[in-house]
């Protein structure tokens, strides 16, 4: 006789939530891909597996699961512990401010603070009214999440979404199609601005790789599961940010703005570029990890 498994024993969402938290604590998982605690991670993985809104587990706590649902939830929880992959790679979905995106291991799990700025505070991203914004570049687009949020926030804009990774652009293509935005978002394979010669934008948003080589080498399995290209910013993490700062002015229209997420690099950037008028922005989950710079504050390129 085989011994009972959790699938036989656990009945309600509350049972499964408790079980998941115990498994996650026992395994000392690492979070940071949209959740910060074992409880939030457990709620996310259970709700996403059950195709329920991930914002609130409370209405379902006493709901009983079918046996097929119990098997699916057990499998998802077990995979999270055994593989140590981020929950979004197991469920295939990630959310920014309630907006759902397809993700898989070809792209980093979306969690940029620029997503919150785009959905909450679009006016901080531009001196102009949103309807006056006609051209946007999302540099380092990954899953296309920020390009899509930008297209939703600025209804008159077309968006170029650029990435060096062909894999990432394949995932972005799925998301752009899911949102029905194929006519407004153009996917471009480009090493930063290289394939965008002559293009100018009202807003450039960019969440580049900005993790130092040492930090990448010390990543826990959850972060190692993501494409290294999405994280690696060189010895001090600033390699790509320096390149963006050097070239952005030549790609901004008059009155345009550059918005870049940089992690904990604000002091280093203020020190290295004392003449640049960085405006450091806060979000619910971050302090000064995103800067805004007007075109007039950016370094002039030679010969332009």
Ligand X SMILES: C[S@@+](CC[C@H](N)C(=O)[O-])C[C@H]1O[C@@H](n2cnc3c(N)ncnc32)[C@H](O)[C@@H]1O
Does residue 165 belong to the site contacting ligand X (CB under 6 A)?
yes
* Binding segment (CB under 6 A) for ligand X, from list 60-68, 162-170, 215-223, 269-277: 162-170
* Binding segment (CB under 6 A) for ligand X, from list 136-144, 150-158, 272-280, 292-300: 136-144
Question: From the CB of 13, what's the least distance to ligand X, in Å?
Answer: 29
Triad 96, 97, 102: Cα angle to 5°: 30
Burial of 100 per CB tally in 10 Å (0-12, 13-18, 19+): middle
Does residue 164 belong to the site contacting ligand X (CB under 6 A)?
yes
* Binding segment (CB under 6 A) for ligand X, from list 41-49, 80-88, 138-146, 296-304: 138-146
> CA-to-CA distance for 144 and 165, rounded, in angstroms?
12
Which has the closest alpha carbon to 253: 123, 124, 116, 132? 132
Quick one: 16 or 89, whose CB is closer to ligand X?
Answer: 89
Sole binder of ligand X in the list 146, 187, 248, 260 (CB under 6 A): 146
Does residue 168 belong to the site contacting ligand X (CB under 6 A)?
yes
> CA-to-CA distance for 124 and 54, rounded, in angstroms?
28
> CA-to-CA distance for 54 and 40, rounded, in angstroms?
10
Cβ of 217: how many Cβ atoms within 10 Å?
A: 10
Sole binder of ligand X in the list 16, 20, 118, 142 (CB under 6 A): 142
Q: Which of residues 97-126 bind ligand X (CB under 6 A)?
A: 107-108, 110, 112
Question: From the CB of 147, what's the least distance to ligand X, in Å?
Answer: 8
Question: From the CB of 53, what's the least distance to ligand X, in Å?
Answer: 21
**Could you say which DSSP state residue 110 is in?**
P
Q: Which residue is nearest to ligand X (CB)?
A: 142
Question: Quick check: 255 and 133 in contact, CB under 8 A?
Answer: no
> CA-to-CA distance for 163 and 186, rounded, in angstroms?
11
Q: Using alpha carbons, list the distances in angstroms from residue 18 to 22, 24, 165, 205.
A: 6, 10, 39, 40
Does residue 230 belong to the site contacting ligand X (CB under 6 A)?
yes
Sole binder of ligand X in the list 7, 225, 229, 253 (CB under 6 A): 229
Question: From the CB of 72, what's the least distance to ligand X, in Å?
Answer: 27
Quick one: 23 or 231, whose CB is closer to ligand X?
Answer: 231
Q: Residue 98 — φ and ψ, nearest 5°?
A: 80, -5
Does residue 153 belong to the site contacting ligand X (CB under 6 A)?
no
Which has the closest alpha carbon to 43: 68, 77, 70, 11? 77
Does residue 207 belong to the site contacting ligand X (CB under 6 A)?
yes
* Binding segment (CB under 6 A) for ligand X, from list 65-73, 82-90, 184-192, 252-260: 184-192
Write out the residues near ligand X by the rule CB under 6 A: 107-108, 110, 112, 140-143, 145-146, 162-165, 168, 190-192, 207-209, 229-230
């Amino acid at each position: 006789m085989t011994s009972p498994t959790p699938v036989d024993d656990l009945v309600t969402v509350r049972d499964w939530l408790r079980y998941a938290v115990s498994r996650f604590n026992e395994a000392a998982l690492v979070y940071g891909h949209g959740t910060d605690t074992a409880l939030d991670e457990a709620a996310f993985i259970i709700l996403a597996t059950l195709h329920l809104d991930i914002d609130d587990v409370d209405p379902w706590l006493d709901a009983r699961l079918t046996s097929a649902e119990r098997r699916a939830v057990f499998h998802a929880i077990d995979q999270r512990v055994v593989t140590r992959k981020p929950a979004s790679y197991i469920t295939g979905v990630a959310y920014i401010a309630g907006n759902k995106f397809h993700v898989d291991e070809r792209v980093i799990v979306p969690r940029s603070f620029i997503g919150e700025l785009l959905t909450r505070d679009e006016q901080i991203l531009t001196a102009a009214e949103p309807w006056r914004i006609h051209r946007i570049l999302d540099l380092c687009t990954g899953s296309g999440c920020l390009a899509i949020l930008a297209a939703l926030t600025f209804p008159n804009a077309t968006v170029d979404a650029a990435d060096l990774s062909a894999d990432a652009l394949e995932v972005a293509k799925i998301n752009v199609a899911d949102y029905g935005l194929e006519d407004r978002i153009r996917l471009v394979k480009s090493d930063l601005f290289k394939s965008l010669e002559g293009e100018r934008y009202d807003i450039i948003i960019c969440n580049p790789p900005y993790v130092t080589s040492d930090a990448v080498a010390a990543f826990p399995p959850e972060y190692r599961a993501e494409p290294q290209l999405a994280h690696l910013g060189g010895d001090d993490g600033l390699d790509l940010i320096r390149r963006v700062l050097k070239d952005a002015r030549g790609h901004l229209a008059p009155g345009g703005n550059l918005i870049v997420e940089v992690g904990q690099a604000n002091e280093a950037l203020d020190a290295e570029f004392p003449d640049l008028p960085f405006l450091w922005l806060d979000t619910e989950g971050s302090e000064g990890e995103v800067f805004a710079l007007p075109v007039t504050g950016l370094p002039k390129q030679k010969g332009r």
